[in-house]
Amino acid sequence: MGAVVCGAAKAIDTCKESKMRRPGATGTRSLPVLISEDQQHSRISLRRIRGTQFVGATGRSSLRRLIALLSIIVIILAPAAVFSEGESTDKQPKRSYFSFTFRGGFWMPEDSTFRKFYGRWSNDIYYMELGFYPLRNLLIGGAVGGYYQRSHTLGTESGEESGEDLTLTMIPFEVSAGYRFRFKDSQLIVPFLAGGYDWVYFHEEPDPGRFTDGWKDGFAAWGGVLILLDKADPEAAMNLRKHYGIEHTYFEMSTRYSFIGEDEGLDLRGWVYMLGLTFDF
């Protein structure tokens, strides 16, 4: 079975095209997919639509994005640490040693070829993170996520949808370290910064029984704010503390940038905007 393949270790514009015959079909048809398989070595590869140009950012431009992201977060969010409530007369909660966060949001991929198949705005992604506080504000954590998107293959000549289903599943695994600018337990707004390394398993299936899978890895950086919810319902906060050991509950707003896929093959770079709930215990 043939396919339009771009080797992951080669330039994107060195694609070789061949015809693919579907089982039971009387003719042949070219169906490009974003990811295809090398039957000999199962190497990760990336396909492109004819006439679409792959433009990769240099390492220097990626570094500038990271510096810009961190600068914006520090300048805009760090001063929010002063917006904390007065000293509470209630008994202070115990020091938290662990944190659990569930967050979800949408990812905006930068690669034009990826957007051609899966779109730019409808890429929902979710994470669950468990962290440990070796120090009061320093969080070391690990996370697992999920992404699933359906689309259609495109005709090589016309660029129109061919009617063939195309699905992409990704499961990111992440280790990270972050710092929360929390100066007292009753602080209403807590800015934070974090960074980590991701390993992303992907599985693309253009036809039932025929798929390509593999791994991509790279760095990610993110930041945002945590909004303390305890004061919104003190009685509920007290019950969570008493029965479940949850000292604080936060509403999280964050943004992150992924540097995964800068080299070759599947390009997963882009911004992610997320909302979530965080429980310290």
CATH number at residue 88: 2.40.160.20
**C-alpha to C-alpha distance for 48 and 55, rounded to whole angstroms:** 12
Between 3-12, 188-197, 224-233, 237-246, the lowest mean confidence (pLDDT) is in: 3-12
CB 19 within 8 A of CB 29: yes
195 assigned to some structural domain:
yes
Helix (H) or strand (E) holding 138: strand 138-154
When pLDDT is cut at 50, 70 and 90, the band that residue 264 belongs to is confident
Tell me phi and psi for residue 107, to 5 degrees: -105, 135
Q: What is residue 44's DSSP assignment?
A: B
pLDDT of 89-147, one tens digit each? 345 567 899 999 999 999 999 988 888 888 777 789 999 999 999 999 999 999 999 99
CB 208 within 8 A of CB 191: no
31 assigned to some structural domain:
no
144 assigned to some structural domain:
yes
**C-alpha to C-alpha distance for 203 and 198, rounded to whole angstroms:** 16
166 assigned to some structural domain:
yes
So what's the pLDDT on residue 162? 57
Mean pLDDT score of the chain: 73
So what's the pLDDT on residue 163? 64
pLDDT of 231-244, one tens digit each? 899 999 999 999 99
When pLDDT is cut at 50, 70 and 90, the band that residue 73 belongs to is low
Residue 153 tokens, joined: 């293959």
CB 190 within 8 A of CB 228: yes
**C-alpha to C-alpha distance for 39 and 55, rounded to whole angstroms:** 27
**C-alpha to C-alpha distance for 229 and 197, rounded to whole angstroms:** 30
pLDDT at residue 218 above 90?
yes
The residues with which 138 forms a beta bridge, in sequence order, are 179
40 assigned to some structural domain:
no
Q: What pTM did the predictor assign?
A: 0.67
Structural domain tally of the chain? 1
Between 45-49, 170-174, 180-184, 211-215, the lowest mean confidence (pLDDT) is in: 45-49
Task: Tell me which residue range forms the domain holding 253.
Answer: 57-280
What is the CB neighbour count within 10 angstroms for residue 244? 10
With CA atoms as reference, report the closest residue to 162 among 266, 40, 29, 263: 29
The residues with which 175 forms a beta bridge, in sequence order, are 142, 197
141 assigned to some structural domain:
yes
47 assigned to some structural domain:
no
Q: Checking DSSP bridges between strand 98-109 and strand 210-228, what pairing results, if any? A: unpaired
With CA atoms as reference, report the closest residue to 191 among 144, 127, 250, 132: 250
Residue 210 tokens, joined: 């025929």
CA 195 vs CA 57, 171, 189, 254: distances in Å: 20, 18, 20, 12
- pLDDT average, residue stretch 215-227: 96
So what's the pLDDT on residue 211? 83
Task: Provide the percentage of residues in the chain whose pLDDT is more than 90.
Answer: 47
CA 191 vs CA 121, 173, 176, 196: distances in Å: 27, 24, 17, 17
Residue 253 tokens, joined: 């707003």
Question: Angle at CA 257, nearest 5°, toward 71 and 195?
Answer: 75
